[in-house]
């Protein structure tokens, strides 16, 4: 039983990202830094990788990364400050090491309007561990041009084409669906047989599938989705909050599970796996890249990542953990089996390890 020091962990709908391109940003500073830093300057304390985004239709989305350029670790809290036409998804709070970032996704919010909007994300507070840097109520310099018109009422955002298959909101299909295009299942829609799509599968809030779902592209669901068969996608798989998946999940790209989600089979990603808070896994988690597990989660099987693993505070891991990179652990996490990190293990306060530990190095930051 070991007590370690604190490392806050970054929890994203998509995970922590290291930026490679130009960065723009702002600073609203109360600290010993010496001087404020101009908006968009190369020395901005908190930056973004793009200042102008475009949404070309109701099914389109754009991403923006928020980077810590302060040269030291920051605990950051941000919020969605869009108007009624747009929405920002992704984890907008966490602790970022120097150079680390959060990724947010901007999309239409179901409306049928178009226009331009600025000030879509506001950093409510960002404070360095040593207290020398404080940023409060600072709006990121991001503008979005959007065209949110079109779409089929009650279905997920987008415009079905002639090659697509649509289950209307509240409707159901008892036959196998095999579409060359996209399969759309509206809010509270139900598919009782196999669903196959050459393109994407898009499922609205409260949707339910009772057999295998296979997509050549992505699978995207709203909140309160239930799957009673395997989910398989050549691209990404992402769910809203309170999703329950009672079979295996396999994606060629990333897998993202919303808050309070539950998976009862193995989850495998050719990219990364990220989960929201309060997630429960009753099968193995395996990712070629990184794995991020939200706070208060329960993982009852093994976790294996080719890259880094981030474990949120208050989580419990019953299986073995194996990371090809670093492992970041929040406060009050319990491990009931072995922990292996090829890189560095960063641990928070009151962490309990009831198995063997193997790591390149251990950093105590409580």
Lowest mean pLDDT among 139-143, 189-193, 281-285: 139-143
Residue that terminates a domain, selected from 115, 148, 181 = 148
Q: What's the pLDDT at 227?
A: 96
d(CA 173, CA 191): 5
Q: Do 277 and 208 fall into the same domain? A: yes
Q: Do 129 and 65 fall into the same domain? A: yes
- Mean residue pLDDT of the chain comes to 82
Q: Do 254 and 109 fall into the same domain? A: no
* 353-363 pLDDT, tens digit each: 999 999 999 99
pTM of the model: 0.62
∠122-126-129 over CA atoms, to 5°?
170
pLDDT at 6 over 70: no
Q: How many domains does the chain contain in total?
A: 2
Residue 342: exposure state from Cβ atoms within 10 A (0-12, 13-18, ≥19) = middle
Residue 243 domain flag: yes
Q: What's the pLDDT at 158?
A: 52
Q: Do 315 and 198 fall into the same domain? A: yes
Residue that terminates a domain, selected from 148, 174, 202 = 148
Q: What is the CA radius of gyration of the chain?
A: 21
* 45-81 pLDDT, tens digit each: 888 888 889 888 766 788 888 888 888 888 888 888 8
Q: What's the pLDDT at 114?
A: 80
Higher pLDDT, 85 or 52: 52
43 pLDDT tier (thresholds 50, 70, 90)? low
Q: What's the pLDDT at 111?
A: 54
Q: What's the pLDDT at 20?
A: 32
pLDDT at 5 over 70: no
- Section 295-321 average pLDDT: 96
Nearest Cα to 72, choosing from 109, 32, 105?
Answer: 32
Residue 19 domain flag: no
Q: Do 135 and 224 fall into the same domain? A: no
pLDDT at 135 over 90: no
pLDDT at 150 over 50: no
d(CA 231, CA 157): 21
Query: CA separation (Å) from 263 to 15, 77, 283, 299, 305?
Result: 19, 28, 7, 10, 18
* 182-238 pLDDT, tens digit each: 899 989 999 999 999 998 999 999 999 999 999 999 999 999 999 999 999 999 999
* 233-273 pLDDT, tens digit each: 999 999 999 999 999 999 999 999 999 999 999 999 999 99
pLDDT at 284 over 60: yes
DSSP state of 217: S
- Per the structure, the complete domain to which residue 86 belongs is given by 39-148
Which range of 85-89, 93-97, 170-174 scores highest in mean pLDDT? It is: 170-174
d(CA 219, CA 348): 35
Nearest Cα to 174, choosing from 157, 194, 192?
Answer: 192
d(CA 118, CA 26): 14
Torsion sign, CA atoms 44, 47, 49, 54: negative
Q: Do 141 and 182 fall into the same domain? A: no
Neighbours of 360 (CB within 10 A): 11
Q: What's the pLDDT at 10?
A: 31
DSSP string, 78-100: EEE---TTEEEES--EEEE-TTE
Q: Do 344 and 207 fall into the same domain? A: yes
Residue that terminates a domain, selected from 102, 119, 148 = 148
∠53-56-57 over CA atoms, to 5°?
130
Q: What's the pLDDT at 237?
A: 94
Residue 57 domain flag: yes
Residue 4 domain flag: no
Q: What's the pLDDT at 266?
A: 97
d(CA 296, CA 111): 34
Q: Which residues pair with 6 in a beta bridge?
A: none
List for the chain the helix, strand, coil content (%; round to 5): 0, 45, 55
pLDDT at 132 over 90: no
* 97-125 pLDDT, tens digit each: 888 888 888 888 755 578 888 888 888 88
Q: Do 57 and 195 fall into the same domain? A: no
Q: Do 142 and 195 fall into the same domain? A: no
Q: Do 133 and 243 fall into the same domain? A: no
Residue 31 domain flag: no
Q: Do 135 and 172 fall into the same domain? A: no
């Amino acid at each position: 039983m070991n007590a370690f020091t604190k490392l806050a962990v970054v929890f994203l709908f998509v995970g922590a990202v290291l930026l490679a391109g130009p960065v723009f940003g702002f600073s609203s500073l109360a600290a010993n830094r010496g001087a404020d830093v101009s908006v968009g300057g190369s020395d901005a304390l908190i930056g973004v990788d793009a200042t102008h985004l475009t949404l070309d239709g109701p099914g389109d989305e754009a991403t923006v990364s928020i980077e810590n350029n302060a040269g030291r670790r920051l605990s950051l809290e941000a919020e969605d400050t869009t108007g009624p036409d747009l929405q920002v998804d992704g984890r907008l709070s966490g602790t970022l090491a120097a150079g680390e970032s959060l990724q947010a996704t901007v999309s239409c919010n179901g409306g049928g309007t178009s226009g331009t909007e600025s000030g879509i994300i506001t950093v409510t507070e960002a404070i360095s561990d040593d207290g020398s840097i404080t940023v409060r109520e600072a709006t990121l310099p991001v503008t979005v041009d959007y065209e949110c018109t079109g779409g089929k009422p009650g279905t997920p955002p987008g415009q079905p084409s002639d090659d697509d298959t649509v289950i209307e909101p509240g409707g159901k299909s008892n036959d196998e669906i095999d579409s060359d295009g996209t399969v759309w299942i509206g809010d509270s829609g139900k598919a009782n047989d196999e669903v196959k799509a050459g393109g994407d599968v898009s499922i609205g809030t409260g949707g339910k599938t009772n057999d295998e779902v296979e997509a050549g592209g992505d699978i995207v669901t709203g909140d309160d989705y239930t799957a009673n068969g395997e989910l398989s996608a050549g691209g990404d798989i992402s769910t809203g909050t309170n999703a329950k998946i009672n079979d295996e999940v396999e994606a060629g790209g990333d897998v993202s599970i919303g808050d309070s989600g539950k998976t009862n089979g193995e989850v495998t990603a050719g990219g990364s796996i990220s989960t929201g808070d309060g997630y429960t896994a009753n099968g193995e988690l395996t990712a070629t890249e990184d794995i991020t597990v939200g706070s208060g989660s329960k993982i009852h099987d093994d976790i294996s990542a080719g890259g880094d693993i981030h474990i949120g505070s208050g989580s419990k891991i019953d299986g073995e953990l194996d990371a090809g990179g670093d492992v970041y652990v929040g406060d009050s996490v319990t491990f009931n089996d072995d922990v292996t990190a090829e890189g560095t293990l960063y641990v928070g306060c009151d962490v309990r390890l009831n198995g063997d530990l193997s790591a390149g190095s251990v950093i105590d930051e409580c």
